[in-house]
Amino acid sequence: MTMDLPTIEIADPQARRNAVERCRQAGIVLPTFAELAAPTLIPPQLRRRLAAVDPDAADPLNLFRVHWYNDASREAQDTEPAFLELGPDFTGVASPILVALGERFPMIGAHKVLAAYACLAPRLVTGRFDPTVQRAVWPSTGNYCRGGVAISRIMGCRGVAVLPEGMSRERFDWLEGWVAEPGDIVRTPGTESNVKEIYDACAELAEDAENVILNQFAEFGNYLVHYAVTGSALESVAMQAMAANPNASLRAFVAASGSAGTLGAGDYLKERLGSLTVAVEALECPTMLSNGFGEHNIQGIGDKHIPLIHNVMGTDGVVAISDRATDRLAVLFNSDAGRAHLVERRGVSHETVDGLSALGFSGVCNILAAIKFAKYQDLGPDDLVITVATDGADLYRSEFRRILDRDFSGALDPVAAAETYGRYVLGAGVDNLIELTRPDRERIFNLGYYTWVEQQGVSVADFEARRQPAFWRGLRDVLPAWDEAITSFNGEVGTA
């Protein structure tokens, strides 16, 4: 495997011509990265047409909803990205925690559709993917493959989802309604921690030249779109909070690693606002924290390896969160007893409590990590911490029954609600957290060697190049060039 660096060079002119014709037939216009970062740039005529489109339909216009600015209905566009602000009454820490809401993205209700678009669109416009003959294979632990299947269906090509068989029932229900054939859902052994098994399945699929593997853990389009689009959106969230409190500043961006794409937003925020970047993982599989291994249920985090697109040397901290905490709090946040405790005993507003349904397992994980980091840094009311909720609770309803039976004897009562909240939120400590030194970063960086060089065949020179900040800065030079290529492509398609 060679490291697939971003490029604007045309790889196959015929494949590009085929993509142009396919998009012309389907009436597809591709949004630029700049339009997704600032949706006010989307042409007014497209926005007017979009108003009549179901946000969950496989409609090409929904590509122009693949951004952070959708309103609660996901049908209209807001002037600012939506976020949930969690204050001391909820978190027990003085620092405001701002949570951007991924459930407002179209088709899949998760922000991973943004990464999927960013991995396929540049390939289309550079002739590196032919939608008339090739299949797009999307290795994932749940949301990215759904985003990939949605984008593939819009593009009129076959999308193949590769994901662990232990993911939530809701993910498979969604996939079964979107794939072209049942065989386009490839179930691999295990759950979140079994990324190697996903790679093995992809290696088999790659033996067929018509299968193109869009590996989110190694696709730099994933990093770049979160740097440019998610980073810009989160800056806007922070600026809203700073407008309300002129003394405030952004101290940290906290996000679960997963494919590490979202962590690319941390580079943007660090450069623009001087914040720290904190990566989060499951305590049951503490890869970065202690080179550990194990199984867990924080769905949306792939682990036991370091993604190729993770800028490890630009990461400032690591926090590990237990899936027992995320499982139980997700149930609490979505139960009558849990919500009543927050309102009646903690004084949390109904508006905030209603917003908790926007938190899936990884969103709960990110909030707990933000609380722990705020405690560790002794942050105050002028110190903002920002994070994301990749998806919402609706993707995990089937999991709640299992958790209730296992942990709460079938039902969450007021006493159990109080105990759960006290233990996992108010009682969150500063354990299982490290502020990274240079040797810590080197250790985590080096751990990636075993996946990418020994197993996947990346050259040592390419692997090592990622150690330098200049490598990551250089990647971003392709963004305006990609936008020019997309604009040119749309011009040839002629549907814009």
Beta-strand ranges (E) seen in 336-441 are 383-389, 433-435
Query: In sequence order, what are the residues at sequence separation of 6 or more whose Cβ sits closer than 8 angstroms to the Cβ of residue 194?
Result: 164, 188, 304
Non-local (6+) Cβ contacts of 76 within 8 A are 51, 70
**In this structure, what DSSP letter does residue 62 have?**
G
Tokens standing for 389? 């909720």
Q: Indicate the pTM of the whole model.
A: 0.96
Is the residue at 382 inside a domain?
yes
CA 210/CA 134 separation, integer angstroms: 5
* Domain assignment of residue 450, yes or no: no
Q: Is the dihedral of CA 291, 360, 366, 92 positive or negative?
A: negative
* 132 DSSP 8-state letter: T
Q: Which residues of 4-14 are buried (b: 16+ CB within 10 A; e: fewer)?
A: bebeeeeeeee
Element (H or E) spanning 406, and its range?
helix 397-407
Question: Which pair of structure tokens corresponds to residue 374?
Answer: 């705020």
The phi and psi torsions of 190 (rounded to 5 degrees) equal: 95, -155
DSSP per residue, 404-419: HHHHSTTS--HHHHHH
* Residue 19 CA to its chain's centroid (Å): 27
CA distance 135 to 30: 19
> What is the spatial order of strands in the sheet that 158-164 belongs to?
185-188, 158-164, 135-139, 211-213
Fill in the amino acid letter for 50: L
Per DSSP, the three-state class of 136 is strand
- With tokens 């006493």, the residue in question is 415
State whether 88 and 56 are in the same domain. Answer: no
447 belongs to a structural domain = no
Residues of the chain below pLDDT 50: none
5 located within any domain: no
168 and 96 within one domain: no
Number of independent structural domains in the chain: 2
Q: Quick one: 412 and 273 in the same domain?
A: yes
Q: How far apart are CA 365 and CA 286, in angstroms?
A: 14
Judgement on whether residues 101 and 236 belong to the same structural domain of the protein: yes
CA distance linking residue 226 with residue 218, whole number of Å = 14
Are 292 and 373 in a shared domain?
yes
- Per-residue DSSP letters for 243-273? HH-TT-EEEEEEEE-TTSSTTHHHHHHHHHH
Kindly state whether residues 95 and 51 are assigned to the same domain. no
Q: Which domain holds residue 348?
A: 83-105+222-435
Residues composing the chain: 496
Residues 68 and 101 in one domain: no
Q: What local confidence, expressed as pLDDT, does residue 10 receive?
A: 95
**Quick one: 394 and 427 in the same domain?**
yes
Write the CA distances from 264 to 115, 251, 315, 418, 494, integer angstroms: 11, 16, 10, 37, 33
Give CA–CA dist 367/230, Å, rounded: 18
Specify whether the CB–CB gap between 297 and 323 falls below 8 A: yes
Whichever domain contains 114, its CATH number is 3.40.50.1100
b/e code 405-426 from CB counts within 10 Å (16+ = b): eeebeeebeeebbbebbeebbe
Domain identity same for 421 and 313: yes
Give the C-alpha separation, 212 to 206, whole Å: 7
Structure tokens at 143: 């949301």
Q: Read off φ and ψ for residue 372, nearest 5 degrees.
A: -60, -40
Nearest to 414 by CA among 328, 323, 332: 332
66: left (phi over 0), alpha (psi -120 to 50) or beta: beta
Instruction: Let me know whether 264 and 351 are in one domain.
Output: yes
Buried b (16+ CB within 10 A) or exposed e, 166-193: bbbebbbebbeebbeeeebbbebebbbb
Within-domain flag for 449: no
Name the DSSP class of 455.
Answer: I
Tens-digit pLDDT profile for residues 201-230:
999 999 999 999 999 999 999 999 999 999
- 454 in any annotated domain: no
Same domain, 163 and 44: yes
Q: What is the CA radius of gyration of the chain?
A: 21
Tokens of 433: 């957290």
Longest pairwise C-alpha distance within the chain? 66
For residue 212, being part of any structural domain is answered with: yes
The answer on 422 and 355 residing in a single domain is yes
Given a contact cutoff of 8 angstroms between Cβ atoms, the answer to whether 255 and 288 are in contact is no
For residues 331-363, b (16+ Cβ closer than 10 Å) or e, as one string? bbbbbebbbebbeeebebeeebbebbebbbbbb
Q: Is residue 395 part of a domain?
A: yes
Residues ≥6 apart with Cβ < 8 Å to 170 = 394, 395, 396, 397, 398
